[in-house]
Amino acid sequence: MKLTHRTFFSLLIAAGLILAFSARASAQGMKIGFVRDDVIKQNYKAWQRAQEEWETEQKAWEDEAAAKQQELQDMMSEYDKQKLILSEDKRREREATIRTKQESLDAYTRQIYGPNGTAERTQQTLIVPLLERVTKAIELVAIEGNYDVVFTMQSGLGYIKETYDLTDQVLERLDTLDE
C-alpha cells in the first residue's frame, strides 16, 4: 500500500492524538474513528455534481483561452508572412494589434486563474458548502456514536469532543508566562 505524504501526516496526527489522550483514554475508554475522504468524494452525489460542474466550467475557460491563443497565433503567422511587404506604418499597426491581443489573453488568464480569480471563486462556491455539510455529518455521527475523536485521512476535517479542548488553559498559561 502506497502512503501519500498527506495520508502519512494524517496518520501521524492520529497517533499523536492517541498518545496525547492516552491518560484520559485509559481512565475513560476513549472512542476514536476515522473517515476516508476519497470514499466520501466518490460516493457523495452532491460532491460528484460539483465536480462535474467544475470540470464543465474549467473546460469552457480552457476552450476560450485556446481560441484566444489560436487567434493570436494566426495574427502572428499572418504578420510574419506579410511584414516584408508592409509599410512601416502598417507594420507598427499590426505589431500594436498583436501586442493588444497578447495583453488581452494575459488579462483573461489572470482573470480566470490568478489569485482570487474566477476559477478560485467558483471552486470556493462549489466546495465550501459541501465541506461544511461533510463536517456537520462527521460531527453528528461522532456525537450520535459517542466518539471522542474522529479524524479524516486527507482533508483535516474532523471532530474532537469539546471536553478535550485545552485552549483556555493554554491562554491562561500564556498570561502567566507574559507577566
Query: What is the side-by-side order of every strand in the sheet holding 149-152?
Result: 32-35, 149-152, 158-160
45 compared with 165, residue with greater pLDDT: 45
The residue ranges of every structural domain in the chain are 5-45+128-178, 48-122
Q: What is the pLDDT of residue 88?
A: 93
Strand, coil or helix: 34 = strand
Buried b (16+ CB within 10 A) or exposed e, 60-71: ebeeeeeebeee
Q: Which amino acid is at 111?
A: Q
Confidence of residue 15 (pLDDT cuts 50, 70, 90): low
C-alpha cell belonging to residue 80: 510574419
What does the pLDDT read at residue 161? Answer: 82
pLDDT for the residue 23: 47
For residues 136 and 23, the model is more confident at: 136
Q: Could you tell me whether strands 149-152 and 158-160 are parallel, antiparallel, or unpaired per DSSP bridges?
A: antiparallel
Confidence of residue 7 (pLDDT cuts 50, 70, 90): low
Q: Determine contact, residues 102/72, Cβ cutoff 8 Å.
A: yes
- Summarised one tens digit per residue, pLDDT across range 79-98 is 999 989 999 999 999 999 99
Residue 155 has pLDDT above 70, yes or no: yes
Q: Any idea of the CA torsion for 87, 88, 91, 95, to the nearest 10 degrees?
A: -170
* pLDDT tens string 43-77: 999 999 999 999 999 999 999 999 999 999 999 99
H-helix or E-strand spanning residue 78: helix 45-82
